[in-house]
């Protein structure tokens, strides 16, 4: 019995299993920890756009920019182009200042600053932007409300001050006229001196009156502002969502987990089909067996996508409007997943399976289903170029909820499909014998 236990636990397969447990356990946690720790601090890396359509609001825009945490703030007057950039994710937030905004605020007219968000984005992005907009809206609403109410409260007192100043000016003019008349009756040799004294006295009184009037005006505005702060804020902001996503964490993470599930299915399927390929490579020849392997991938990708896309849309639930586009995307993605996971199997045999698992976990981060590309560190930002999950997830965001796939993403997706297929063909062509894991 003791010898059997020793033999079992000293077996190389048992030791390999233990090593894989430790390796995967530590590697997967490191991947997630290093991949996600930069959020939400890296929200400041997201580019945003201020659309200023009011020529009188330049000073307000300068104050607004200085209060925002973002490093990349674009300014434009073209709201239509800015919305398109929002769809392509070249911009993540639009702050629109409408025409006559400043004038409407001064004249107590109804006006609003508009915020635009592309809701078809990672939850970390949408929630961070919503939080920022809430804080910014509160600040803007409070400032505009105080400004409007201060003007309302101060207007009667300012009118009275203006009336008093006019009365004082009339009285001063009368006094000056009287003084000039008296100077005219004085001896001629004294008139010049008396006129100079009068001029100096008048200038001094005017200066003192001006300073006093400004102090009174400042005091009126100060007291009015203090009273205005006690009045409830008016709503001067409005949030608009492009490509609205139904509330729920499951909906925001759906593009990631749909494709993660496809990738895991393809990874296991590739392992099974690899063993079948090995069986028939000796019988049919490796190139013919490889052709049948790829044919199986194509058939499984097409049939699997037709069934799985319908199931996924039913579960979410989402209308079947883009069903055929989604099926096409999932077909190409599944075919890519199969071939991507086959590369290491052809190179290392069954030993490539745990490496594929690690690569899949790296793709979960670099696939940007939970964190945007600009929120990743340099390693994961580089890995997204080689990540099938990235292209599949971004395509699903656009197809399920709305958005525009960039030309760069389309090109990268196509090159990765062609590249993995060519690499697999090259390995099969030049490798004389496929490795078989022999544990015992």
- φ, ψ at 89 (rounded to 5°): 65, 25
Distance CA 76, CA 53 (A): 8
Are 215 and 269 within one domain? no
CA angle centred on 347, ends 341 and 352, rounded to 5°: 50
- In-domain check, residue 152: yes
What is the three-class DSSP state of 27? Answer: helix
Distance CA 11, CA 282 (A): 30
Are 233 and 217 within one domain? yes
* Predicted local distance difference test score (pLDDT) of residue 57: 87
- In-domain check, residue 85: yes
Are 195 and 278 within one domain? no
Using the 3D structure, point to which of 215, 242, 269 is the last residue of a domain.
242
Q: Which two tokens stand for residue 154?
A: 């101060």
CA angle centred on 286, ends 283 and 287, rounded to 5°: 125
Are 395 and 379 within one domain? yes
Are 310 and 174 within one domain? no
DSSP lists the bridge partners of residue 75 as 50
Q: Which residues contact 296 (CB under 8 A, 6 or more apart)?
A: 273
- φ, ψ at 115 (rounded to 5°): -105, 135
Helix axes 123-185, 249-284, angle to 10 degrees: 140
**29 CB burial (10 A radius; 0-12, 13-18, 19+):** exposed
Q: Which two tokens stand for residue 165?
A: 């100043």
Using the 3D structure, point to which of 203, 221, 242 is the last residue of a domain.
242
Using the 3D structure, point to which of 242, 277, 292 is the last residue of a domain.
242
- In-domain check, residue 404: yes
Are 409 and 355 within one domain? yes
- In-domain check, residue 367: yes
Are 273 and 382 within one domain? yes
Write out the H or E segment, with its range, that includes residue 52: strand 48-52
Write out the H or E segment, with its range, that includes residue 100: none
CA end-to-end span of the chain, whole Å?
Answer: 19
Q: Which of 186, 176, 152, 63 is nearest to 113 (CA)?
A: 63
* Predicted local distance difference test score (pLDDT) of residue 251: 92
Are 273 and 155 within one domain? no
- In-domain check, residue 1: no
Q: Which residues contact 424 (CB under 8 A, 6 or more apart)?
A: 290, 339, 342, 343, 346
Task: List the domain range (segments joined by +) for residue 386.
Answer: 249-430
Q: In what order do the strands lie in the sheet with 73-76?
A: 73-76, 48-52, 93-97, 113-118, 237-242
List per-residue pLDDT tens for the chain, 440 residues long.
667 677 777 777 777 778 778 877 888 788 878 877 777 777 888 999 999 999 888 888 888 898 898 999 999 999 999 999 999 999 999 999 999 888 887 777 788 899 999 999 998 899 989 999 998 888 887 776 656 655 666 567 667 667 676 777 777 677 777 767 776 677 776 667 766 776 777 677 777 777 776 776 666 666 655 555 555 556 678 999 999 999 888 999 999 999 999 999 999 999 999 999 998 988 888 999 999 999 999 999 999 999 999 999 999 888 898 999 999 999 999 999 999 999 999 998 888 888 999 999 999 999 988 888 888 888 999 999 999 999 999 999 999 999 988 889 999 999 999 999 999 999 999 987 766 655 55
* Predicted local distance difference test score (pLDDT) of residue 147: 63
Q: Which residues contact 439 (CB under 8 A, 6 or more apart)?
A: 11, 12, 13, 16
Write out the H or E segment, with its range, that includes residue 62: helix 58-67
> Domain total for the chain?
2
- In-domain check, residue 320: yes
Are 222 and 300 within one domain? no
Torsion angle defined by CA atoms of residues 368, 374, 377 and 381, in that order, rounded to the nearest 10 degrees: 60
Total number of residues shown for the chain: 440
Distance CA 396, CA 390 (A): 10
The answer to whether 236 and 145 have CB atoms below 8 angstroms apart is: yes
Are 293 and 211 within one domain? no
Q: Which two tokens stand for residue 307?
A: 């069934």
- In-domain check, residue 15: no
The answer to whether 86 and 92 have CB atoms below 8 angstroms apart is: yes
* Predicted local distance difference test score (pLDDT) of residue 293: 96
Are 159 and 220 within one domain? yes
- In-domain check, residue 182: yes
Are 254 and 354 within one domain? yes
**188 CB burial (10 A radius; 0-12, 13-18, 19+):** exposed
What is the three-class DSSP state of 78? Answer: coil
């Amino acid at each position: 019995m003791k010898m059997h236990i020793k033999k079992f636990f000293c077996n190389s397969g048992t030791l390999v299993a233990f090593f894989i447990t430790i390796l995967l356990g530590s590697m997967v946690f490191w991947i997630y920890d290093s991949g996600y720790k930069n959020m939400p601090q890296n929200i400041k890396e997201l580019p945003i756009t201020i659309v200023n359509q009011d020529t009188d609001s330049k000073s307000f825009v300068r104050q607004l920019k200085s209060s925002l945490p973002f490093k990349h703030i674009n300014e434009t007057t073209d709201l239509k182009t800015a919305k398109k950039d929002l769809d392509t994710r070249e911009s993540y937030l639009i702050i629109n200042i409408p025409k006559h905004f400043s004038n409407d605020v001064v004249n107590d007219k109804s006006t609003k600053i508009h915020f635009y968000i592309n809701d078809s984005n990672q939850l970390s992005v949408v929630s961070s932007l919503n939080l920022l907009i809430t804080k910014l809206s509160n600040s803007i609403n409070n400032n505009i409300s105080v400004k409007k109410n201060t003007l309302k409260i101060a207007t009667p007192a300012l009118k009275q001050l203006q009336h008093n100043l006019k009365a004082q000016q009339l009285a001063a003019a009368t006094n000056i006229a009287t003084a000039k008349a008296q100077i005219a009756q004085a001896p001629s040799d004294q008139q010049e001196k008396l006129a100079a004294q009068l001029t100096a006295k008048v200038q001094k009184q005017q200066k003192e009156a001006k300073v006093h009037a400004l102090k009174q005006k400042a005091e009126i505005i100060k007291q009015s502002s203090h009273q205005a702060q006690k009045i409830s804020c008016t709503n001067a902001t409005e949030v608009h969502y492009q490509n609205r996503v139904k509330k729920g964490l499951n909906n925001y993470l759906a593009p990631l987990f749909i494709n993660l599930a496809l990738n895991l299915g393809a990874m296991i399927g590739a392992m099974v089909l690899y063993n079948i390929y090995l069986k028939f490579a000796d019988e049919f020849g490796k190139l013919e067996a490889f052709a049948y392997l790829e044919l199986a991938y194509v058939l499984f990708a097409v049939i699997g996508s037709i069934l799985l896309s319908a199931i996924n849309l039913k579960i979410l639930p989402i209308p079947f409007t883009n069903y055929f586009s989604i099926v096409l995307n999932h077909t190409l993605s599944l075919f890519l997943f199969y071939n991507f996971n086959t590369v290491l199997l052809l190179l290392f045999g069954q030993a490539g399976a745990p490496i594929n698992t690690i690569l899949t976990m790296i793709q979960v981060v670099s696939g940007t289903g939970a964190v945007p590309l600009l929120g990743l560190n340099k390693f994961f930002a580089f890995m997204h170029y080689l990540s099938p999950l990235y292209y599949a997830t971004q395509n699903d965001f656009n197809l399920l909820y709305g958005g525009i796939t960039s030309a760069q993403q389309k090109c990268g997706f196509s090159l990765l499909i062609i590249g993995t297929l060519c690499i697999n063909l090259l390995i099969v062509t030049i490798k004389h014998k496929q490795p078989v894991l022999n544990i015992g």
